[in-house]
Structure 1
Amino acid sequence: MAEDLTLTATTKAARYAELRPQIEALTTGEPDLTANLANTAAALKEAFGFFWVGFYLVKEDELVLGPFQGPVACTRIRRGRGVCGASWARAQTLLVPDVEQFPGHIACSSASKSEIVVPIIRGAGNVVAVLDVDSDKLNDFDADDQEALEALAPLVASWF
């Protein structure tokens, strides 16, 4: 069944609040991880017009590209490398206002200017994936993004 997002809020925080139950409706009862990650990435991209949004999945000693929306992306990222690898290694959200200032940043796209990466943690600190969101504008993410995306992470973790 196809779904359309219905968002009427004008503030970012309120849009996230409207989006959350719609993501839950899209994924409730769906056992397929890929389908749920793909719909979540698509919903976030549609709701906010992010430059790139997607997931990297932990597979052994690397992050491997999962479902995403946006231009082609890096396929594999080592633990500790770039913003995604650092978020995985630290098991914490990284909000980067200017990716060029982040030591070891991996430039999958030169158009990416700012980034937020949220670890998806299952159990006692076991990072199973990261949610990566990029903007083509500097300093485009704030506490509202961090709070809402971190609140979404336990739902995503429940699919693993």
Structure 2
Amino acid sequence: MIKANQAISGKEGTVYATVGSSRYEMAELKTISAQIAVKVANVQAIGMRMEKGKVVGAAGTGDLTAHYFSNVARQAIATYVKTGVYPDITIKITNADVQAQKGRHTVLLKEVIFNDSILAGLDGTSEDTLEESSSFTFGAFDILETFK
């Protein structure tokens, strides 16, 4: 039976982005998630009544929400628009909830491309701080550490 204190808290951890040779702590993030989905081709043949699947590839996607002062996505897109070259970006995400006593879990996302970013924004009607959301893709990953 799992004890409540063994569940992993999503608030405990770190996120770093490396853009070219510069490394940034992404402390402004509110949420980040990365998913990997396999691509499946349908396989059918004469005499087969059941359709089968074959894994033929994979795709990495993710989403993040940040306080509005984050510049990583905005600057990467601006660099591409101005120069035609998208910078090399990696994101390192570490879960590190010491109370759960499960150790750390670290994933390095490589070849990250931000799909969108707010260029500028104001909201005179809101009582909250400004935030932005962005989706991204990644072309490779490494699992550097796993939970015990």
Identify the structure with bigger relative contact order (alpha carbons < 8 Å, sequence gap 6+): 2
Q: TM class by shorter-chain length?
A: under 0.3
Q: Which has the higher strand share?
A: 2
Q: Which has the higher helix share?
A: 1
